[in-house]
């Protein structure tokens, strides 16, 4: 397998702060607005990364069904 | 409905092949006198091959149809000797605006590089494009253009093709070494031979309305996404010659083409867009759907498909006629050399491989534009709309806005007849040559005007020994040595008067480019030797292909 370019080890300087900021940005908006916010975020960050190989790897990993929560976990979370 | 243009009427003329005696044989017969068929005849004429062009109609395009001709296309038709009237008549443009909902989100200027003979783009109705090619063909005795001669039967034999042609005087037969088919997207000859063009039909309809008006806005390309006057759809406005403006309304799949074509239904759309005070006359209207498709193989024995018959794209990005002409120029020089026995039969297959690659690139670009303009589901629509919103303020997002990537010639880097190399500077093998101003015999001229129709070795001959130049000259009659010098200025040597050849080609003393008859770089040499040039020429002619040995 060829070397992966996408960083999947921890690379945040402050992960907790980012996570809080992200969820805070979505707190008071409806899901349609959230969808639009997420789209803008993806576009902005994708441009910042720029490299096509890195972006492809990220899309592949994000599309991989095995990283999605299993139905039983989703149910218990409700 | 046409008011600004009257279609010429070309008479049926009985030909000497209709004597009713023996079946006459010709090297090349071309079916279809549209942009590609005419271009093919003109290309062969430049290379000394006689052609017959058969067309079932008696005039050029009815309606404006293809309107956007790219620089490469103008360079090709300049080689044929008919770019000047097109550029003079056409609208040269380089600016545009993009709108989203009620706002202009940005404007652009293509800022074409200076020092090229041809402009980046012209807009010109297809009927003018064809008419000027017909006029040029009439000047060339090598072209026998026959109107109202309809091919009704094709027998594609292994090494020649037999055709039956219907005319007002009854049918006649001819045979040919090569039958070139450019009879359009719904090619009848493709059907006759049981061949298919496969791909994707887009579930959308577009209304073309050509209107005559004298508005006070500039001749720019204006594109609207989801404007208030035509909600949820896109609209394009672009100028053509004779104060004709192309307006393209996206209608959606459910629109009724017959209803939409009616003037009483078109008028309110245009009034909503331009305002009731703008006076206009409707010139021509058409409702179309489009497809992106191609044949898996453009060649069946000695029958070869070109243009929309071979590969068809959506109109976004102007890749139909522009891509078609690139296919034509790729084919003509190859058949010419096979007919002259300067190249093996195997060279023909490289038309298929190189232009399959070209068509794939055009279809890919045109499909991406179509998907951006018509998002396929709700989330695609969200991404599209947010891209447009970001584009108003952020440059990066403008690069994602896709209302058609403008046609550029594709490269043949990985072609089996291109000698690839690892140098990064200059123009890589497999890429088309770039124009530059030069002087020759004391007169200002253009580099591309010195290239084409035969192989050229463009060499910086500063410090080159005369014996080398003499020996290079003797490699082949189909190879001309073109010297570029900064020091000595002899007869027929190019003077790089503005230094732009040096800049674009990075051509140092002793270095050279081997350039194909279609002005593509076949190989280049850091140190020019007779052996290396001969080998690359041999390869470019297909002698190293499997069946070419």
Instruction: Output B263-269 pairs: Cβ under 8 A, ≥24 positions apart.
Output: B266/B207, B266/B209, B269/B207, B269/B209, B269/B229, B269/B230
A43 chain-B contacts, CB cut-off 8 A: 383, 386-387, 390, 397, 400
**How many Å apart are CA B341 and CA B346, to the nearest integer?**
12
A32, A34, A37, A39: best mutation site toward chain B, by most B Cβ within 10 Å? Answer: A39
A39 chain-B contacts, CB cut-off 8 A: 379, 382-383, 386
- Tell me which chain B residue has its CA closest to the CA of residue A41: B386
Confidence category of residue A74, pLDDT binned at 50, 70, 90:
very low
Section A28-56 average pLDDT: 97
pLDDT at B463: 85
- Tell me which chain B residue has its CA closest to the CA of residue A36: B382
Q: Which CATH number among 3.40.50.300, 3.90.1150.10, 3.10.450.50, 3.50.50.60 corresponds to the domain B16-90+121-195+292-369?
A: 3.50.50.60
pLDDT at A68: 58
Q: Does CATH number 3.40.350.10 belong to domain B437-548?
A: no
- Reduce the secondary structure of B53-107 to three states and give it as a string: EEECCCCCCCCCCCCEEEHHHHHHHHHHCCHHHHHHHCEECCEEEEEECCEEEEE
Confidence category of residue A78, pLDDT binned at 50, 70, 90:
very low
Helix (H, G, I), strand (E, B) or coil at B39: helix
| B402 at interface of A, judged by CB pairs closer than 8 A | no
| B390 at interface of A, judged by CB pairs closer than 8 A | yes
pLDDT at B489: 65
Report which of residues A78 and B85 the model is more confident about: B85
User: Which residues of chain B are under the pLDDT cut of 70?
Assistant: 1, 487-490, 547-549
* Inter-chain residue contact A40 with B379, CB threshold 8 Å: no
A36 chain-B contacts, CB cut-off 8 A: 382, 385-386
pLDDT at B203: 85
| A60 at interface of B, judged by CB pairs closer than 8 A | no
**How many Å apart are CA B429 and CA B424, to the nearest integer?**
11
Phi, psi of B301 (to 5 degrees): 50, -115
pLDDT at A77: 40
Confidence category of residue A1, pLDDT binned at 50, 70, 90:
low
* Inter-chain residue contact A47 with B389, CB threshold 8 Å: no
The answer, yes or no, to whether residue A75 has pLDDT greater than 60, is no
**Prediction pTM value:** 0.93
pLDDT at B364: 92
Sheet harboring B311-312: ordered strands across? B198-201, B291-294, B311-312
**How many Å apart are CA B532 and CA B61, to the nearest integer?**
47
Q: Tell me how close the Cα of B392 comes to any Cα of chain A, in angstroms.
A: 13
B379, B380, B386: best mutation site toward chain A, by most A Cβ within 10 Å? Answer: B386
A44 chain-B contacts, CB cut-off 8 A: 390, 394, 396
**ipTM of model:** 0.85
B390 chain-A contacts, CB cut-off 8 A: 40, 43-44
Nearest to B166 by CA among B387, B293, B18, B357: B18
Instruction: Output B475-478 pairs: Cβ under 8 A, ≥24 positions apart.
Output: B475/B530, B475/B533, B475/B534, B475/B537, B476/B342, B476/B537, B478/B337, B478/B342, B478/B454
- Tell me which chain B residue has its CA closest to the CA of residue A39: B383
Contact B335, B28 (CB under 8 A): yes
Contact B314, B366 (CB under 8 A): yes
| A39 at interface of B, judged by CB pairs closer than 8 A | yes
Nearest to B65 by CA among B134, B137, B2: B2
Q: Tell me how close the Cα of B320 comes to any Cα of chain A, in angstroms.
A: 28
**How many Å apart are CA B50 and CA B41, to the nearest integer?**
8
A45, A47, A62: best mutation site toward chain B, by most B Cβ within 10 Å? Answer: A47
pLDDT at B314: 84
Structural domain spans, chain B:
16-90+121-195+292-369, 437-548
pLDDT at B487: 66
């Amino acid at each position: 397998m060829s070397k992966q370019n996408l960083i999947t080890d921890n690379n945040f300087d402050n992960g907790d702060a980012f996570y809080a900021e992200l969820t805070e940005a979505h707190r008071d908006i409806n899901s349609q607005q959230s969808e639009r916010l997420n789209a803008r975020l993806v576009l902005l960050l994708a441009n910042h990364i720029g490299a096509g190989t890195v972006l492809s790897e990220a899309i592949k990993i994000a599309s991989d069904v095995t990283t999605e929560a299993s139905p039983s976990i989703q149910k218990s979370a409700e | 409905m046409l008011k600004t243009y009257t279609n010429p009427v070309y008479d049926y003329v009985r030909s000497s092949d209709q004597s009713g005696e023996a079946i006459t044989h010709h090297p090349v017969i071309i079916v279809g006198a549209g942009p590609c068929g005419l271009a093919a005849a003109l290309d062969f004429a430049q290379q000394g091959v006689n052609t017959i062009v058969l067309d079932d109609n008696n005039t050029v395009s009815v309606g404006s149809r293809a309107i956007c001709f790219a620089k490469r296309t103008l360079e090709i038709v300049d080689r044929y000797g008919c770019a000047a009237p097109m550029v003079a008549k056409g609208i040269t443009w380089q600016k545009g605006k993009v709108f989203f909902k009620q706002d202009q989100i940005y404007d652009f200027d293509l800022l074409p590089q200076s020092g090229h003979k041809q402009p980046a783009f012209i807009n010109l109705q297809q009927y003018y494009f064809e008419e000027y090619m017909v006029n040029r063909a009439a000047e060339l005795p090598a072209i026998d253009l026959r109107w109202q001669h309809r091919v009704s039967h094709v027998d594609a034999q292994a090494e020649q093709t037999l055709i039956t042609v219907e005319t007002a005087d009854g049918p006649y037969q001819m045979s040919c070494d090569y039958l070139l088919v450019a009879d359009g997207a719904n090619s009848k000859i493709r059907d006759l031979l049981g061949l298919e063009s496969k791909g994707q039909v887009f579930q959308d309809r577009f209304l073309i309305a050509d209107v005559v008006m004298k508005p006070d806005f500039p001749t720019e390309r204006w594109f609207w996404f989801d404007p208030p006057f035509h909600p949820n759809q896109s609209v394009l406005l672009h100028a053509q010659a004779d104060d004709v403006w192309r307006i393209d309304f996206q209608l959606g799949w459910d629109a009724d083409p017959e209803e939409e074509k009616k003037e009483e239904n078109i008028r309110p759309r245009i009034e909503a867009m331009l305002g009731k005070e703008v006076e206009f006359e409707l010139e021509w209207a058409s409702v179309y759907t489009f497809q992106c498709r191609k044949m898996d193989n453009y060649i069946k024995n000695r029958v070869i498909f070109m243009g929309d018959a071979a590969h068809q794209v959506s109109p976004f990005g102007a890749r139909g006629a522009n891509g078609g002409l690139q296919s034509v120029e790729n084919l003509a020089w190859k058949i010419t050399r096979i007919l002259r026995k300067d190249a093996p039969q195997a060279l023909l297959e490289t038309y298929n491989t190189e232009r399959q690659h070209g068509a794939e690139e055009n279809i890919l670009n045109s499909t991406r534009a179509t998907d951006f303009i018509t998002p396929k589901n709700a989330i695609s629509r969200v991404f599209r709309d947010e891209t447009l919103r970001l584009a108003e303020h952020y440059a990066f997002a403008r690069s994602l806005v896709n209302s058609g990537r403008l046609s550029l010639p594709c490269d043949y880097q990985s072609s089996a007849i291109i000698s690839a190399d690892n140098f990064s500077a200059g123009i890589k093998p497999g890429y088309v040559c770039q124009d530059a101003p030069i002087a020759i015999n004391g007169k200002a001229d253009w580099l591309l005007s010195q290239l084409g129709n035969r192989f050229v070795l463009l060499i910086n001959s500063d410090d080159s020994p005369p014996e080398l130049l003499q020996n290079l000259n003797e490699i082949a009659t189909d190879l001309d040595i073109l010297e570029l010098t900064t020091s000595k200025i002899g007869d027929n040597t190019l003077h790089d008067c503005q230094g732009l050849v040096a800049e674009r080609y990075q051509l140092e003393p002793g270095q050279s480019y081997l350039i194909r008859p279609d002005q593509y770089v076949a190989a280049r040499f850091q140190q020019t030797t007779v052996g290396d040039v001969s080998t690359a020429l041999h390869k470019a002619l297909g002698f190293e292909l499997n069946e070419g040995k």
